[in-house]
């Protein structure tokens, strides 16, 4: 099987590509514009593999997408390319509308044109797998409520609204044109190669440098945490075994408040890096509470029973095992995140094609 993966140089996309190349016989075509969050160094383990190909292409560029489909003739698309940081969407929503909505529309049209050119057997086997987020569902009010595949959409931020829009487009292209689509909505991912602006890597790296650990509001916002390598396994299972027209929620069964997450990281660092930066007595002392994010959702939690029941997937990592692996990875891969922080990784996205 040849799979075209958009956003393959991003956090989740690179995990999916590493999983596919290292654990299956499938081939991968990585289509990525290489924005600030795209980092080819996250694919160093597989970049020279004979089953891997990279195309530096913007998903808003229809002509280039048509060329990629024509040249590579994929059997499936896994659409992960997206602007995904809520704070950035609040400060500047334009890029989120362009990439997440217009880009998804452009990709759908390129995929539809290609799909229509296939013979009946290949058309029947083709899949367009759209990867989305649980943030499209908005806020959970009750402490025992869970997001299911039929939960109504009530997005709160420009980011989640743009992803909700793209989800609707994907389903409409199935209903109207017959394009064989599948949608997945996942909970908060974490793990190796996570871009340092996100909560978990930010806390790890700030603590190592003796910087403050900023926590929004009272830190009691609840998220369901999913180890990225578990997510990668789930996504490959969906694109190969999932049913056209279905939605699958993917969660880690690990609800934690933000402040719990930050304190867990601090305690792990106390064990792993007892020699602290100058002036730091305890990592916990670095925690600071800052003004809450506008429209901040209080609780997300996923019911992932459908993908377990129908596709036999469940997470292998608990939060405790996954967060330990994550902290260890950042401690052992200082060169990767140092190059991200100082911007030197950007030579890949600005120069290397």
| Active site (annotated) includes residue 292 | no
Of 4, 178, 180, 167, nearest to 76 by C-alpha is 4
User: Is residue 313 helix, strand or coil?
Assistant: coil
| Active site (annotated) includes residue 248 | no
Radius of gyration of the chain (CA): 20
| Active site (annotated) includes residue 135 | yes
Q: Which of 41, 55, 83, 134 is catalytic?
A: 134
Of 92, 88, 91, 100, nearest to 59 by C-alpha is 100
For the chain, count helices (H), then strands (E).
14, 12
Distance of alpha carbon 198 from alpha carbon 203, whole angstroms:
9
Instruction: Quote the crossing angle between the two packed helices 158-177 and 104-116, to the nearest 10°.
Output: 20
Of 178, 183, 190, nearest to 166 by C-alpha is 183
Q: Which of 135, 224, 255, 297 is catalytic?
A: 135
* DSSP labels, 42-73: GGTTTTT-TTEEEEE--TT-HHHHHHHHHHH-
Q: Which of 52, 105, 137, 159 is catalytic?
A: 159
User: Is residue 272 helix, strand or coil?
Assistant: helix
Say if CB 172 and CB 108 are below 8 A apart: no
Catalytic residues: 134-135, 159
């Amino acid at each position: 099987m040849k799979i075209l993966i958009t956003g393959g140089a991003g956090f989740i996309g690179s995990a999916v590509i590493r999983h596919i190349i290292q654990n299956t016989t499938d081939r991968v075509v990585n289509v990525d514009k290489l924005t600030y969050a795209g980092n080819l160094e996250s694919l160093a383990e597989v970049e020279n593999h004979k089953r891997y190909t990279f195309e530096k292409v913007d998903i808003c560029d229809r002509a280039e997408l048509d060329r990629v489909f024509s040249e590579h003739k994929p059997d499936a698309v896994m659409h992960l390319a997206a602007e995904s940081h809520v704070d950035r969407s609040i400060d500047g929503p334009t890029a989120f509308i362009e990439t997440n909505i217009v880009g998804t529309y452009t990709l759908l049209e390129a995929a539809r044109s290609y799909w229509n050119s296939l013979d009946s057997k290949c058309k029947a086997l083709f899949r367009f797998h759209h990867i989305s987020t649980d943030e499209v569902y908005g806020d959970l009010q009750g402490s025992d409520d869970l997001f299911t595949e039929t939960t109504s959409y009530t997005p709160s931020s420009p980011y989640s609204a743009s992803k909700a829009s793209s989800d609707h487009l994907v389903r409409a292209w199935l209903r109207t044109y017959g394009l064989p689509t599948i949608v997945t909505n996942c909970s908060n991912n974490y793990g190796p190669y996570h871009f340092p602006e996100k909560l978990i890597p930010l806390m790890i790296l700030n603590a190592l440098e003796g910087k403050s650990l900023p926590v929004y509001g009272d830190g009691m916002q609840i998220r369901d945490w999913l180890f990225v390598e578990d997510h990668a396994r789930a996504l490959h299972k969906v694109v190969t075994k999932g049913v056209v027209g279905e939605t699958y929620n993917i969660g880690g069964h690990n609800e934690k408040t933000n402040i719990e997450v930050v304190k867990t990281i601090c305690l792990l660092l106390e064990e792993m890096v007892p020699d602290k930066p100058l002036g730091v007595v305890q990592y916990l002392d670095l925690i600071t509470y800052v003004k809450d994010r506008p429209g901040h959702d209080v609780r997300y939690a996923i019911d992932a029973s459908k993908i377990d029941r129908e596709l036999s997937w469940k997470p292998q990592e608990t939060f405790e095992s996954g967060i330990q692996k994550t902290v260890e990875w950042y401690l052992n891969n200082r060169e990767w995140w140092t190059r991200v922080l100082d911007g030197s990784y950007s030579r890949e996205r600005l120069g290397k094609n």
